[in-house]
Amino acid sequence: MRALAERLPREEFFRSGHPLCPGCPGGTLWRLTGKVLGKNSICTVSASCLALPSHVYPSALTTPSLYLSMSTTPAGITGVSAALKILKRKGRLKTYEPIHIYAISGDGSAADIGMACLSGAAERNDDGIFICFDNEAYMNTGIQRSSCTPLGSWTTSTLKGKTEKKKDLPEIMVAHHIPYVATASMAFPEDYVKKLEKARDMGCGFKYIHVHSPCPTGWRFPERKTIEVSRLAVECGLFILYEVIYDQYQITYRPKVRRPVEDYLKTQGRFAHLTREDMEKIQRQVEERWQALE
């Protein structure tokens, strides 16, 4: 990890003193994103846990940000990029350095209420990086299920466990034929930084990065284990790290030995009620997914 630490600037663009839960991977995500995208970046946040560090006084973010509403986060990318284009053309911009536009959105905001907006922005290929922070439920309002909640998970609106499967949002984005789709996890920060840099340097177009973000508060595990749970999700094959560049798939990390899903599921209180059959069902799903992807 030292090579990564030496490569990135030491300056913090997402400062301490923010009100995220202790152990929230969102803090790590935004810190790394800030270091990669730097000072000249403008972001849109959605109504989610991550709206609070930037849009509640005092703010932790040192770069400008916009909050529209829960369903219109991708419209922020659309509007800002269109404005930048015309202002540049007319010579009305003060600076000529490239400004990176990105959006940070929760899974509920991206996959449910904002699905139409996200789909529209992707289809228009608006210039920006859309980072979906997937904590697999509506966490900010107190752990309600979203379409990205996985099978069997407890939430306050699925008290016996969710009976539907998780919506595969990266695959939906691939179907839009955008230049870049990638998945990432906070347990693999070098992988995430590489992908973000690739997205940043790719030129114009809509790029989508789906970051798996275990939530200690909502998934019911001790907050010090956040990175460990993230790693287990990848090592058990439940979350696959891959990227799709112009419709070409590439898996960026293959666990040498895929651990049984039980290792991952038993760390979290939200899966405490799962039976052996449930776990086997989930294991089979993982096998099928890997086969399909290979």
Partner 1 sequence: MRIEKNALGPNSDQLFSYLEVPIGSVIIGADSYLRRTGQWRYTRPLLVERVPPCQMGCPLGIPIREVIGLIKQKEYEEALKLIKEENPFPGICGRVCYHPCEVNCLRGEFDEPTDINTLERFVSDRVNENLQGHGKSPDPSSKRVAVIGGGPAGLSSAYFLGRMGYQVTLYEAMQFLGGMLRIGIPAYRLPRDVLNREIQGALNQGVKVVAPALVGRDVTWEVIQGYDAVFVAIGNHKSTKLHIPGEEAEGVFSGIDFLRKVNMGGSISLGEKVAIIGGGNTAIDVARVVSRLGSKPVIFYRRDRKEMPAFEDEIREAEEEGIPIQFLTVPINIHTEKGRVKGLECQRTILKSEGDGRSRIVVLGGSNFTIDVDAVIYAIGEEVDRSYLPPKWEKAGDEIPISPISSIEEPGFFAGGDMISQQKTVVHAIASGKLGAISIDLYLKGKKAEDFPDSVRIGQNGPISMRVYLNHQSQTAFRGVSFADINTAYFYPQPRPLLSKLRLDNRDSYFCEVNLGLGEDQALEAAGRCFHCGCCMLCENCYIFCPDGVVHKNIDEGKNVIDYDYCKGCGICQNECPVGAIGMEIELEE
Partner 2 sequence: MDRGMVTGNYAAAHGVKYARAEVIPVYPITPQTSLMEKIIEFINNGELDAEFVPVESEHTAMAVAIAAEAMGARSFTASSAQGLVYMHEMLFVASGMRLPIVMCIVNRSIGAPNSLLGDLQDSLDIRDASWIQLYAENAQEIMDMVIQAYKIAEDKRVLLPVAICYEGIIISHCMEPVTFLDQQKVDQFLSDYCPDHVLLDPERPTHVQAILTDDAYYMEYKYQQQVAMENAKLVIEEVDQNFGNIFSRRYGGLLEAFGTEDAEVVLLTLGSISSTARRVVRDLREKGILIGFVKLRSFRPFPREVLQSLLARLKGVAVIERDASIGSGGVIYTELSSALYMNEPKPKIINYIVGLGGREVTYEALKVLAEKTLWMVKTETTVQPIQWIGVRGLS
For binding to partner 2 (CB under 8 A), which residues are involved?
39-42, 44, 51-52, 54-57, 59, 61-69, 71-72, 75-80, 82-87, 89-90, 92, 94-95, 99, 116-117, 119-120, 123-124
Q: Which amino acid is at 98?
A: P
**Residue 79 CB contacts under 8 Å (≥ 6 apart), including other chains:** none
Choose from partner 1, partner 2, none: what does 119 bind? Cβ within 5-8 Å by kind.
partner 2
**Residue 118 or 234 with smaller CB distance to partner 1:** 234
What is the smallest separation between the CB atom of 13 and partner 2, expressed in angstroms? 10
What is the smallest separation between the CB atom of 80 and partner 2, expressed in angstroms? 5
Choose from partner 2, partner 1, none: what does 263 bind? Cβ within 5-8 Å by kind.
none
**Residue 47 or 234 with smaller CB distance to partner 2:** 47
Given a contact cutoff of 8 angstroms between Cβ atoms, the answer to whether 52 and 101 are in contact is no
Given a contact cutoff of 8 angstroms between Cβ atoms, the answer to whether 18 and 53 are in contact is yes
Q: What is the DSSP string of 224-285?
A: GGHHHHHHHHHHTTSS--EEEETTEEEE----SSPPPHHHHHTT-GGGTT--HHHHHHHHHH
Choose from partner 2, partner 1, none: what does 116 bind? Cβ within 5-8 Å by kind.
partner 2
Given a contact cutoff of 8 angstroms between Cβ atoms, the answer to whether 119 and 195 are in contact is no
Other CB atoms within 10 A of residue 234 CB: 24
Choose from partner 2, partner 1, none: what does 26 bind? Cβ within 5-8 Å by kind.
partner 1
